[in-house]
Amino acid sequence: MENLQEKTIMLIRDVIIAIAIVGVILAALWAYTGQFPHTPMVVVTSSSMMHDNEPFGRIGTIDPGDLVLVKKVYSKNDIITRGDPQHPHTKHKTYGDYGDVIIYYPMGDTDRTPIIHRAICWVQKNSDDTYDVPEYGIHGATSVDIPDLHLSGYKPKYSGFITKGDNNEYPDQTPNGGICEQPVQLKWIVGKARGELPWFGLIKLVFPPGNTEGQWGYKGDDAVKIGYAVAPKDEWICLGISLFFIIVLPSSLDIYNFIKNWREKRRI
């Protein structure tokens, strides 16, 4: 009887400790990102931020299946733009290129899947209907013309960020980009990307999504589909190795110890 009580107490203690650890981790993530009570992380579903010739495992860039921390922003000054790729506006580098990567709802529509793309420049619409784009040396122009971004005669309705996926030729604000016709306003932005947990988001993507937008973005020669998730083969390999060391190996040791103890008790 005492044995059973001790085991029950130990089980309750282990559960409380596990819950406490999860709570501390979540509290730390929320404290860092400022996203409480919303999720501090998002899962990347498309290949729009991938880079060519990435190393095995693709750590350090944003790829399908990555979990990315989302840090809240409070003003446009919290976001560092890249500018001209040949002459970057900043030395600040994230995820394989210059400038910050932001997560936003296209046209502010919260029913759509959030987009995670790089902030290229800020377009300022002035009261006299002219435009300033400091990153490209544009001041008082009657329209935004940036050949590098395929923007010609662009006359947005208001100020905001021009955004673009690192793996996309066109920015989101062009007809060919086809994601967000107007510059991204601050109120549409969920936050900026900070840090990543590679591969583990693939576990979520395996199951049927509520919204399939972006689920089929990766179409490389090394694409592997498991369930509803599509990602490069090396990401699946890295995920499998990680799960082996986190789950399979400890579980196998527990089973081995259980069988060993059981056999020893039988001998007695």
Please tell me the distance from the alpha carbon of residue 226 to that of residue 228, in angstroms, as a whole number.
6
Looking at residue 7, its pLDDT comes to: 65
Sketch the domain layout of the chain as residue ranges. 1-33, 39-199
Looking at residue 9, its pLDDT comes to: 76
Looking at residue 56, its pLDDT comes to: 92
pLDDT in tens for each of the 268 residues of the chain? 556 677 677 778 877 887 888 888 888 888 888 888 888 999 999 899 999 888 899 999 999 999 999 999 999 999 999 999 999 989 999 999 999 999 999 999 999 999 999 999 999 999 999 999 999 999 999 999 999 999 999 999 999 999 999 999 999 999 988 899 999 999 999 999 999 999 999 999 998 875 444 445 678 888 999 988 999 999 999 999 999 998 888 778 778 777 777 777 776 6
Looking at residue 214, its pLDDT comes to: 43
